[in-house]
């Protein structure tokens, strides 16, 4: 299933260039997408706050080419892929230790 998902992602118009993509929702909160596979479907995502709190989730691409994030607490979010920007790996690595 993961190989199929990765294949679909590569064929999709939503192709992540680097390992991490980020969207700054505010000065203190950002959403980070990773190419690292989740234990379930999709790839790792995190919502991070400036006070070092974060929520983990897994992201997938919907039929409508939207980024769908299923958060660990049961909530979900959907975003246009256009709002995410590539970020240097060194800035993001600390999130997934």
Q: pLDDT tens for residues 56-79? A: 999 999 999 999 999 999 999 999
Closest residue by Cα to residue 58 from 3, 5, 11, 4: 5
Give the pLDDT confidence score for residue 52 in this predicted structure.
Answer: 83
Give the pLDDT confidence score for residue 95 in this predicted structure.
Answer: 46
Give the pLDDT confidence score for residue 68 in this predicted structure.
Answer: 97
pTM: 0.72
Residue 39's domain comprises 2-96
Tell me the residue ranges of DSSP E strands in the chain: 20-24, 29-37, 43-49, 54-61, 67-71, 76-79, 85-87
Per-residue pLDDT of 3-60, as tens digits, reads: 433 443 433 434 455 578 999 989 899 999 999 999 988 999 999 998 888 899 999 9
Split into its structural domains, the chain has a count of 1
């Amino acid at each position: 299933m993961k190989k199929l998902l990765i294949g679909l992602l590569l064929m999709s118009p939503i192709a992540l260039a680097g390992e991490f993509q980020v969207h700054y929702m505010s000065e203190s909160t950002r959403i980070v997408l990773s190419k690292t596979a989740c234990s379930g479907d999709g790839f790792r995502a995190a919502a991070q706050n400036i006070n070092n709190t974060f929520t983990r989730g897994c992201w997938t691409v919907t039929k409508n080419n939207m980024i769908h994030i299923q958060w660990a607490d049961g909530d979900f979010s959907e975003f246009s892929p256009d709002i995410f920007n590539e970020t240097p790996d060194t800035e993001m690595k600390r999130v997934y230790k």
